[in-house]
Chain A
């Protein structure tokens, strides 16, 4: 098992050091074979036709005048084992892959159309590096993709129901009820926030904070209502919204949430969208929630925090079996860091909610922030570990 938690650069530097102390043709465990590929207008020249099993890096230079792609294919010349796409003329990009012993095919695709050119055999020879080959992988990925899509639909459906109830209370002037529903309803949004954010106009209409506005922009969505429900920190002279403004904001909130619900019905996900979604959710925590900026008026940031973490944990759980097969140590690390973060959050539970952000001590906030970083580092290895 390679030293996974080390950044790649550190790992390869170690490899070089190790090499200097070895006979040149017996690479140390952590060494990786480095190959170059020249993708020109009419050729695809790989610097070697074979390499030992393990981690290989192909440094692909586009010497042609069109955008190119490089493919590493299985022996059948069809199944993609690794690829580097969108390489502009003159640019160099690295493809880092783990390859088991066997026969492969390399090819380039200048212009990004057709079957590709310069197809050539590439042999990966036996080494003491063990690279797992899992024929069930594709089926597992398919299952994870389908499961996540249904999770998103379920959360948005609950968001629709909760929003309708919340909006009705707000319009009716029942502020106590609305305040009680605010954070728990938003949790459904926050669990799938990175998906919801992918719909251009809906996210700003529903989730814009006051600081995000430009001058003269109409402020709608959750946070505009939040300020009206919790005006304690508002600027001097802030007046409660009149009934017709409440009606308008609540109507738009319900309407935009219904639109979101329609849009997620047909969504499907790829593996990288899931792993990057988990990363994105934790980034949301790191930049908005742990700083208390998201719920500027209600200070219910920890509800959002928990919901973002829930969403990331669901994404992780969906791909965990695949990860265990590929890199059990990373799975162990993620299990531990997720658990540690949850322990910190659980310590702030009050009833069915959480401590207000403004009631947290600086030490408690810092502990949460530190643990977000501790989880973030291994979590952000997921894409490169799982995705081809």
Chain B
């Protein structure tokens, strides 16, 4: 293994693997917020006290029950950063992410215990807050392997999986460059928005000089459930969408549809996945005044319960053959549930993990709102196949437009003492 996993301090001296090891004891290093919070609320467990281990076989934040809040950031690696510099950044990020996921401040001294004449290592806005189920998930974009000028900046071009290329242009795409692409990504999810923002803020601070945020997105309400223990939430159209999402409890589903198998790509990506992010703007005002009949026809579901229009309750399988008046199917040919359904996409499923967003209003006074779609799949071709089907035919296209897009390869989880993506540089 390269110098990356040696456990040494980074050149900034800001973070160290040693610090993380000591902090694991929960004594004297930084503020162990999780321990404090768990103790304080021992009688009333709540999602806020959830702590998900960072060092796992697969990265957390994928099959983890979807938290309520998101801060997602795409980064560009700065010009001049070398391969060794990139590795060092990933090591620093790994250590900091592990600390924050455990509910601790970053650094040896944290937010308030350091030298009085030095800037605090941790920015401090998560002091007194529990871990809040924070997960931090890292990904590598196509441009990390080969930039727009065809340069192999980090000596990893030969390791780029064939599937890791820019997604194709889909009909209706109105992508903005400033909301698309990126060399690296970090998805921070938590049940407290301040905890998620704290994570991205500190990780981007660590990256200064080595990588900068290209774009970022806040999400405030999960739009899918990744566990049978969660109720299906509603998107900003007021509908339950993603009812048939992959759930952590489904045996074999993640292996079949989410994780890259041992023989399914380069060895460094085995146990990883592909993350697709799409910023989907909703034309809220037009939708809001559309009649209920239209709204339900567009989704193919009943708005109140989320049941398919073919009948039953939310989790009843849609019956695409059943017809009503005029022998027309109750779930129309262009209905979203029909076009997105695995049975209409050669059995393709993906794990959706999107969030609602409202970023104020646009120049026309309209809500800048929509769905920040995130999906994880074993190959991006699965997303492309389903999205092409939707982009061509979906009745929902009248009310949405895709304005941002990015694809990242998500490496497997890091082993303790190593760092995220180590196998790529081995």
Contacts and interface: CB of A to CB of B under 8 A. Distances in A.
Interface stretch (A70-78, A83-91, A229-237): A83-91
A211 interface: yes
A229 to B, nearest CB: 22
B360 interface: no
A373 interface: yes
Contact of B309 (A88, A112, A217, A290): A88
B11 interface: no
A190 B363 CA distance: 25
Contact of A214 (B171, B286, B294): B171
A215 B312 contact: no
A286 B282 CA distance: 12
A194 to B, nearest CB: 11
Given A212-B171, A214-B388, A86 B325 contact: yes
B302 A91 contact: yes
Contact of A90 (B168, B312, B392): B312
A63 B28 CA distance: 64
A67 B290 contact: no
Interface string A89-102: 11111000000000
B363 A365 contact: yes
- How many chain B residues sit at the interface, stated as a range, is 35 or more
A343 interface: no
A62 B169 CA distance: 43
A117 B322 CA distance: 21
Contact of A366 (B174, B294, B365): B365
Contacts of A293: 174
B1 interface: no
A380 interface: yes
Contacts of A89: 311-312
Contacts of B307: 88, 90-91
A124 interface: no
A347 B392 CA distance: 38
Interface in B2-17: none
A291 B364 contact: yes
A69 interface: yes
B170 interface: yes
A15 B40 CA distance: 46
Given A212-B171, A287-B286, A287-B398, A380 B325 contact: no
Contacts of B169: 213-215
A62 B171 CA distance: 39
A92 to B, nearest CB: 7
Given A211-B173, A366-B364, A90 B316 contact: yes
B162 interface: no
A327 B171 CA distance: 42
Interface string A213-246: 1110100000000000000000000000000000
B56 interface: no
B239 to A, nearest CB: 15
In this complex, which of B168, B305, B309 has the most chain A Cβ atoms within 10 angstroms of its Cβ? B309
In this complex, which of A62, A213, A214, A379 has the most chain B Cβ atoms within 10 angstroms of its Cβ? A214
Contacts, number: 97
Interface string B370-412: 0000000000000000001001100000100000000000000
Contact of A380 (B171, B173, B289, B308): B289
Contact of B311 (A62, A112, A365, A369): A62
B172 interface: yes
B308 A88 contact: yes
Interface residues of A, number: 38
Contact of B286 (A62, A91, A286, A365): A286
Contacts of A370: 364-365
B311 A90 contact: yes
B309 A211 contact: no
B117 interface: no
Contacts of A380: 289-291
B322 A67 contact: yes
A283 interface: yes
Nearest to B363: A362
A377 interface: yes
Contacts of B322: 67, 88
B363 A86 contact: no
B401 to A, nearest CB: 8
Interface string B95-126: 00000000000000000000000000000000
A85 B392 CA distance: 29
A166 B117 CA distance: 75
A279 B293 CA distance: 14
Given A88-B308, A88-B311, A90-B312, A376 B286 contact: yes
Contact of A215 (B168, B283, B289, B365): B168
B330 A67 contact: yes
A291 B325 CA distance: 38
A255 interface: no
6 contacts: A88-B330, A90-B311, A91-B307, A214-B388, A370-B364, A384-B291
A-B complex: 8 closest residue pairs judged by Cβ atoms:
A88-B311, A86-B324, A89-B311, A369-B364, A380-B289, A214-B171, A90-B312, A90-B311
Given A211-B174, A286-B285, 6 more contacts: A92-B304, A212-B171, A214-B171, A214-B388, A279-B291, A369-B364
Interface of A: 62, 67, 69, 85-86, 88-93, 112, 211-215, 217, 276, 279, 283, 286-287, 290-291, 293, 362, 365-366, 369-370, 373, 376-377, 379-380, 383-384
Interface of B: 168-174, 283, 285-286, 289-291, 294, 302, 304-305, 307-313, 316, 322-325, 330, 363-366, 388, 391-392, 398
